[in-house]
């Protein structure tokens, strides 16, 4: 069972334990209720009611209920780029699904995380705070507790998370920087593909910045202001520049790369517990580096 500790300082004097916890931790309402009824708050190692006003030097501890996932453990590489007691940021390799589904119950990042936990003597319930497509590489966030997942989900819904991607697209883009503001949706319920819809689509905004131009391709930096399914792939296809290697959206490039050349490269968000700004970057995978090397020649 993990826990958070707070040592009472002079600025806390006069406030109750509940007030001190509220001021220092951004727990969800559900977890606050659980803290109360499961008596998860201690003062100097002993369970305590929340109305008590502690003294300087007292230690308030909030215990987290032990949880775990039951996915089968598999030896799938987990490339951790940041980890603490609340979060893991993974640089996901292309070709691996994030979470098990009916069609892909095994060989996922979740299965690899189970082995990672075993190897590192950890135990927590796997909660993905974001997901990317199987053939997209880059940053995946795993929350180690419900409160962290709740806070990041809130930031995502408020569009308070900076999400930046790197993509290689077909064709040469002339403008250096521009914004695509076009609604996205399914053309019909059976379709896997999304498209720009003049009616019935959901708002979608994508910033595009050209980083490098080649003979028949362009390297771009893409920033999302919304999080629609396939948003980058749809928007770039809509302007006539599908992502290189994106077979679903017409970006076929068999001699360059065998999946869409799209990488979740950077995220900026607030840490769900401390409020500290986290700026996480994931290096490009080898297949995109190889693709760029070919284009530069």
The catalytic residue positions are: 133
Nearest-5° angle of CA 194, CA 199, CA 201?
40
Distance CA 259, CA 52 (A): 58
For residue 123, CA distances in Å to 112, 116, 117, 158 come to 14, 10, 6, 30
Distance between CA 2 and CA 65 in Å, rounded? Answer: 7
Q: How far is CA 257 from CA 71, 236, 244, in A?
A: 31, 18, 8
Question: For residue 20, what is the enclosing H or E element?
Answer: helix 17-24
Hey, what are 251's tokens?
């970006």
List 163's β-bridge partners, or say none: 224, 267
């Amino acid at each position: 069972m993990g826990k958070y500790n707070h040592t009472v300082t002079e600025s806390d004097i006069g406030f109750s334990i509940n007030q001190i916890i509220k001021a220092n931790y951004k727990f969800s309402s559900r977890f606050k209720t659980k803290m109360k009824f499961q008596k998860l708050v201690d003062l100097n190692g002993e369970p305590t009611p929340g109305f008590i006003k502690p003294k300087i030097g007292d230690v308030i501890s909030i215990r987290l209920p032990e949880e775990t996932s039951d996915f089968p453990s598999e030896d799938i590489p987990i490339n951790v780029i940041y980890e603490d007691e609340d979060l893991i940021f993974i640089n996901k390799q292309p070709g691996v699904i994030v979470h098990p589904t009916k069609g892909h119950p095994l060989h996922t990042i979740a299965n690899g995380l189970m082995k990672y936990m075993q190897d590192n003597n950890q135990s927590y319930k796997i909660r993905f705070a974001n997901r990317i497509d199987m053939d997209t590489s880059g940053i995946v966030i795993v929350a180690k507790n419900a409160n962290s997942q709740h806070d990041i989900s809130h930031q995502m819904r408020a569009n308070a998370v900076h999400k930046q991607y790197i993509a290689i697209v077909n064709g040469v883009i002339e403008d250096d920087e521009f914004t695509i503001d076009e609604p996205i949706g399914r053309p019909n319920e059976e379709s896997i593909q999304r498209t720009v819809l003049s009616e019935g689509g959901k708002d979608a905004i994508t910033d595009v910045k050209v980083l490098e131009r080649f003979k028949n391709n362009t390297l771009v930096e893409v920033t999302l202001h919304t999080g629609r399914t396939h948003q980058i792939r749809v928007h770039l296809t809509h302007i006539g520049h599908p992502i290189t290697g994106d077979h679903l959206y017409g970006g076929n490039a068999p001699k360059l790369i065998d999946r869409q050349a799209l990488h979740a490269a950077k995220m900026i968000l607030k840490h769900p517990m401390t409020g500290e700004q986290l700026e996480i970057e994931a290096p490009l995978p080898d297949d995109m580096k190889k693709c760029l090397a070919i284009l530069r020649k």
